[in-house]
């Protein structure tokens, strides 16, 4: 199954709506005058579609909430090395990241099933699993043990490449 740019853009548009809604609910009146920083860390290189997804996310967020967010995309693991993102999010030093199943399994052993190849047949099956009771239970464990909130899984072609777009669970410290 081949993913199109429109499929990815649709998934990102849904994610943008979720982030805008969450940010609007969490924003304090004193913060209304300043942009809300969204620091994003990814080990992806600029030409990789994983990095390009964050650019589309930023563009969509700018359209949905112009001037409300300061989206800072940090590629090539330049802000935090891969695997260090959950700790950075728990400390309040990072708002968003793509966290792999491998990194989640370090703290949530139940997630390790998704590091095995061919457990998930295709992107549609992946979305069905993670948008159902199995995903609800796993994401609940991730939130409890890692102090991050999974927002969505990236619909990847490779079954062993499960990745979740996560946001920091704790309110931003000012």
With bands split at pLDDT 50, 70 and 90, how would you rate the model's confidence at 86? confident
Q: What is the DSSP letter of 152?
A: E
Tell me how crowded residue 88 is: count the other CB atoms within 10 A of its CB: 19
**Is 173 inside a domain boundary?**
no
**Is 174 inside a domain boundary?**
no
Q: What percent of the chain has pLDDT over 70?
A: 70
Does the pLDDT at position 13 exceed 60? Answer: no
CATH number at residue 57: 3.40.190.170
Contact predicate 171/26, CB 8 Å: yes
Contact predicate 86/147, CB 8 Å: yes
As for how many domains the chain has, the answer is 1
Instruction: Classify 111 in phi/psi space as left (phi over 0), alpha (psi -120 to 50) or beta.
Output: alpha
Return mean pLDDT, the chain.
77
Tell me how crowded residue 141 is: count the other CB atoms within 10 A of its CB: 16
**Is 82 inside a domain boundary?**
yes
Q: What is the domain range of residue 79?
A: 5-25+34-168
- CA–CA gap between residue 5 and residue 24 (Å, rounded): 28
- Which tokens in the block code for residue 64? 């949905």
- Residue 56: CB partners within 8 Å, gap ≥ 6? 8, 9, 12
- Quick check: pTM over 0.75? no
């Amino acid at each position: 199954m081949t993913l199109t740019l429109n499929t990815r853009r649709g998934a990102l548009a849904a994610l943008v709506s979720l982030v805008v809604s969450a940010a609007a609910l969490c924003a304090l009146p004193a913060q209304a005058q300043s942009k809300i920083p969204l620091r994003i860390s990814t080990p992806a290189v600029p030409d990789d579609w994983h990095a390009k997804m964050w650019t589309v996310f930023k563009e969509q967020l700018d359209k949905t909430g112009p001037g409300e967010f300061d989206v800072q995309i940090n590629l090539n693991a330049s802000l935090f090395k891969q695997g260090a993102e959950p700790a950075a999010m728990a400390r309040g030093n990072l708002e968003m990241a793509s966290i792999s199943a491998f990194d989640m399994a370090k703290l949530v052993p139940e997630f390790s099933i998704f590091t095995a190849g061919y457990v998930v047949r295709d992107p549609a099956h992946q979305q069905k699993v993670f948008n159902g009771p199995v995903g609800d239970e796993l994401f609940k464990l991730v939130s409890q043990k890692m102090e991050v909130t999974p927002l969505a899984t990236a619909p990847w072609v490779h079954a062993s490449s499960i990745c979740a777009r996560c946001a920091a669970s704790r309110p931003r410290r000012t």
